[in-house]
Structure 1
Amino acid sequence: MAATRKAAFDPVVDADARVLILGSLPGEASLAAGRYYAHPRNAFWRLTGAVIGHDLEAMDYETRLTALRRAGIGLWDVIASAERSGSLDAAIRSPEAADLRGLVERLPGLRAVAFNGGLAARLGGRILARGPAALITLPSSSPAHARPFEQKLADWRKLSAWLD
């Protein structure tokens, strides 16, 4: 499969967000569906639902986004665009960074930026290292990150401290 240039979605965030979760770049299933975390085996909606106390998996996409925003969570990606064949972060080439600083500056109540996986943490951490929010690296919600759900959830639950 040839690498093609892929672009991130627009951020989903309200001005009063307290936590911003940043992935790397949407995978093929998400790009095809035009929505964040669309792969049926990606645990993102299950993990964040457990953090905020709502069954996000049972909701339609727009309702999921509304529930996250109401809970004080925003979503985006650290990469604005990149060349990639398939969905794996390891296949990303020539990444162009998203304007993370610009977004963070527009979020006065932001307490923490959580990175969904190692690549997001490495790239986003460099950009936001001197920012006003705590930086948290979470285990990837991707099915490619083979770790039991309960272990991932233990780390993801730490977000609740920043949402209270």
Structure 2
Amino acid sequence: MLQSFDPVADSRSRVLVLGTMPGVMSLQKQQYYGHPRNAFWSLVAALAGEPLPEEYGLRKAMLLRAGIALWDVCRCCEREGSLDSNICREEPNEIVGLLADHPAIRAIAFNGQPAYRLFKRHVEKELKAWCIKRGHPGYPYLHLPSTSPAHAVPFERKLERWRPLEEYLRY
């Protein structure tokens, strides 16, 4: 079974970006979005208005300064290669618990449709029940194009589709 990483979040987090499960190269590097052609970190830098740091720790710090929390829907799964379509026997992360611990999060964004499908299958019902029980209005969902190099869309088009995050990142 493949294991996901811990979430990246703090009290400044206003948007939770969910992926599916780190790919092979990310797991080898022990870094979210570790493939050099994945556009995730470049998109975050553009949204944050900052230069893209080379060092992973600085990238995570930039993410948090921008108000973005990061995690994957899957805590663990089986998968051949890195394709989301190969994910099976998945178990979800405790996303509702993360949201409860980070009340400043105002929206949930999905890095590609497979992340949303897995969320819908494993988390959405629990999240809706949690929101109802606490009188919470719920979270808007932002469906974003995948940052994966397998999703061959020019960077500028991906950035344009990721720009709606900015509305939720403002204080």
Contact 1:23 1:115 in 2 (8 A): yes
Counterpart residue type for residue 148 of structure 1: P
Counterpart residue type for residue 51 of structure 1: L
Contact 1:17 1:72 in 2 (8 A): yes
Aligned to 1:88: 83
Aligned to 1:75: 70
Where in structure 2 are there 5+ consecutive unaligned residues?
132-137
1:82 positional shift: 0.4
Is 1:65 paired with 2:71? no
Which of 138, 144, 150 is 2:150 aligned to? Answer: 144
Aligned to 1:51: 47
SS in structure 2 of the partner of residue 152 of structure 1: helix
Is 1:13 paired with 2:9? yes
Q: Equivalents in 2 of 1:160, 1:17: separation in Å?
A: 13
- In the superposition, the TM-score normalised over structure 1's length comes to 0.92
Q: Equivalents in 2 of 1:22, 1:31: separation in Å?
A: 16
Aligned to 1:112: 107
Contact 1:20 1:113 in 2 (8 A): yes
1:22 positional shift: 0.7
SS in structure 1 of the partner of residue 147 of structure 2: coil
Query: Considering only aligned residues, what root-mean-square deviation do their CA atoms show, in Å?
Result: 1.3
Counterpart residue type for residue 149 of structure 1: F
Which of 33, 36, 46 is 1:37 aligned to? Answer: 33
1:112 positional shift: 0.9
1:124 positional shift: 1.6
SS in structure 1 of the partner of residue 26 of structure 2: helix
1:16 positional shift: 3.0
How many residue pairs end up in the alignment?
159
Report Cα offsets for 1:8-45 as digits up to 9, x if no partner.
00001003310111100000000000111010110001
Is 1:122 paired with 2:130? no
Q: Equivalents in 1 of 2:89, 2:151: separation in Å?
A: 23
Which of 18, 25, 28 is 2:24 aligned to? Answer: 28
Report Cα offsets for 1:91-137 as digits up to 9, x if no partner.
11111111111111111111111110111111224524635221111
SS in structure 1 of the partner of residue 69 of structure 2: strand
Where in structure 1 are there 5+ consecutive unaligned residues?
none
Q: Equivalents in 2 of 1:16, 1:149: separation in Å?
A: 27
- In the superposition, the TM-score normalised over structure 2's length comes to 0.88
Deviating more after overlay: 77-86 vs 14-23: 14-23
Contact 1:48 1:156 in 2 (8 A): no
Contact 2:12 2:65 in 1 (8 A): no
